[in-house]
A and B are shown apart, each in its own frame.
Chain A
Amino acid sequence: MNIGHQDFYTQAILSMAALVGLTSFLMLGQGRLLRLIFVFALQGFLLTLTTALTAYSLDNHHLYISAALTLALKVMFIPWMLRRQVLLMNMHRDIEALKNNTAVMMGGASLMVFSYYVLHPIVQTSSTIMLNALAVSLSVVLLGMLLMISHRQAVAHVVGFMSIENGLFFAAIVATNGMPMVVELGVAFDVLVAAVLFGIFFFHIRTSIDSLDVDRLNRLHEVDK
Chain B
Amino acid sequence: MIAAYLVLLIPSVGILVFVLTGHKTDTGKLNVRFNAICLLATTWLAINVLNQGTILSSGKAFLIDPFNVYLIVLTAFVGLTTSIFSAPYMAHEKELGKLTDKRLKLYYSMYQGFMLAMYLVLTTNNMGVMWVAMEGATLATVLLVSLYRTPESIEAAWKYFILCGVGIAQALFGTILLYYAAVQVGDVENSLLWSVLYENANKLNPEILEIAFVFMLIGYGTKIGLVPLHNWLPDAHSEGPTPMSAVLSGLLLNDALYAVVRNKMLVDGASHSNMAGLLMMGFGLLSFLVAAFFLHRQKDIKRLFSYSSIEHMGMMTFAFGIGSSLSTFAALLHMTVHSLTKSAIFVTVGHAAQVAGSQRIDNIRGLIKTQPRIGWGLLIGTIAIAGFPPFGVFTSEFLVLLATMHSYPWLTPLLLLGIGIAFAGLFRHIQPMVYGDKPESQMPVKANLWPVMIHLALVLWLGLAIPGFLANWFSQATILISGSTPL
Contact = CB atoms under 8 A, between A and B. Distances in A.
A121 B139 contact: no
Nearest to B133: A186
B173 A183 contact: no
Contacts of B143: 197, 200
B128 A125 contact: no
A200 B154 CA distance: 11
Contact of A193 (B139, B166, B235): B139
Given A208-B151, A224-B298, A148 B162 contact: yes
21 contacts: A122-B208, A125-B181, A134-B177, A134-B180, A145-B166, A164-B166, A171-B176, A172-B179, A175-B176, A179-B128, A180-B191, A182-B126, A182-B129, A183-B132, A186-B133, A189-B132, A194-B139, A201-B161, A222-B234, A223-B298, A224-B299
A176 interface: yes
A125 B184 contact: yes
Contact of A219 (B128, B142, B152, B298): B152
A198 to B, nearest CB: 8
Contacts of A138: 173
Given A161-B165, A183-B132, A201 B158 contact: yes
B62 to A, nearest CB: 12
If over half of A's interface residues share one DSSP class (helix, strand or loop), that class is named, otherwise mixed; here it is: helix
Interface string B113-151: 000000000000010110111011001001100100111
Interface of A: 118-119, 121-122, 124-126, 134, 137-138, 141, 144-145, 148, 154, 157, 161, 164-165, 167-168, 171-172, 175-176, 179-180, 182-183, 186-187, 189-190, 193-194, 197-198, 200-201, 204-205, 208-209, 214, 217-220, 222-224
Given A168-B172, A176-B180, A208-B154, A224 B297 contact: yes
B294 A219 contact: no
If over half of B's interface residues share one DSSP class (helix, strand or loop), that class is named, otherwise mixed; here it is: helix
Complex A-B, nearest 7 residue pairs according to Cβ-Cβ distance, in ascending order? A183-B128, A186-B132, A223-B297, A121-B207, A224-B299, A217-B155, A208-B151
Contacts of A224: 297-300
Interface of B: 126, 128-129, 131-133, 135-136, 139, 142-143, 146, 149-152, 154-159, 161-162, 165-166, 169-170, 172-173, 176-177, 179-181, 183-184, 189, 191-192, 205, 207-208, 211, 231, 234-235, 239, 294, 297-300
